[in-house]
């Protein structure tokens, strides 16, 4: 693998999670050992019954990092359900990223300030701590013109990978039909009736 691209930009570390199919205890322990021996930048974890591959991979791009990590999982016989970079943020995180106070953000979340419609939290801990999806929050701030928040540069790529993972689990004919339904380019290049399907 090349260490640098043609523009001499160095590779960087990309952190994300892969959500895996559930594993029983014995399979989890065995897979964790094998992954640990094979990849020093991936570790298997469990949270609330969900199995994750925690990845911190050095690569030229986020796309390359995810692609190679998914391949590593497949080689080890593990099934990846989706890519999940950690987009969860607390009130304090939102305040820091938007240059506001924690109290100011709290008032936005309950509609006492701003235009309303703040995204609902997606995780509530028993201790009262709430977490929001950062892509949703960032989009809300941009739409409300309340903060110059940059869009998440990997959000679109994550959606693309997750769509591909879903399609990969479908029968090929069904996957192609769905692609043609949403992509006019695919529909226009559809094979003639009776023609052999593309290889």
Quick check: 187 pLDDT over 90? no
Residue 184 has pLDDT above 80, yes or no: no
Contacts of 125 (CB under 8 A, 6+ apart): 131
Query: What are the φ and ψ backbone dihedral angles of 14, each rounded to 5 degrees?
Result: -125, 125
Of the pLDDT bands very low, low, confident and very high (cuts 50, 70, 90), residue 11 is: confident
Domain ranges of the chain: 12-83, 88-144
Specify the pTM: 0.58
Q: What is the pLDDT of residues 100-159, one digit of tens each?
A: 999 999 999 999 999 999 999 988 877 778 888 888 898 899 999 998 887 666 766 887
Helix 25-38 and helix 62-75: axis angle, to 10°? 120
pLDDT band at 34 (very low <50, low <70, confident <90, very high): very high
DSSP-derived 3-state class of residue 172: helix
pLDDT tens for 87-96 read: 678 899 899 9
Q: Of 99, 94, 67, whose CA–CA distance to 83 is shortest?
A: 67
pLDDT 10s digits, 157-182: 887 788 888 888 888 888 888 778 87
Fold of 12-83: Alpha-Beta Plaits (3.30.70)
């Amino acid at each position: 693998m090349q260490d640098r691209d043609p523009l001499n930009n160095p590779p960087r570390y990309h952190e994300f999670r892969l959500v895996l199919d559930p594993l029983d205890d014995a399979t989890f322990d065995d897979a964790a050992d094998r992954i640990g021996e094979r990849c020093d930048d991936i570790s298997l974890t469990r949270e609330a019954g969900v199995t994750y591959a925690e990845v911190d991979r050095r690569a030229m791009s986020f796309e390359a990092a995810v692609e190679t990590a998914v391949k590593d999982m497949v080689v080890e016989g593990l099934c990846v359900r989706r890519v999940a970079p950690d987009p969860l943020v607390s009130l304090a995180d939102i305040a820091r990223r938007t240059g506001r106070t924690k109290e100011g953000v709290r008032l936005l979340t309950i509609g006492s300030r701003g235009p309303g419609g703040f995204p609902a939290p997606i995780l509530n801990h028993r201790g009262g701590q709430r977490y929001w999806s950062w892509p949703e929050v960032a989009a809300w701030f941009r739409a409300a013109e309340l903060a110059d928040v940059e869009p998440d540069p990997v959000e679109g790529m994550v959606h693309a990978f997750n769509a591909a993972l879903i399609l990969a689990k479908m029968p090929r004919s069904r996957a192609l039909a769905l692609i043609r339904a949403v992509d006019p380019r695919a529909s226009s290049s559809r094979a003639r009736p009776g023609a052999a399907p593309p290889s």
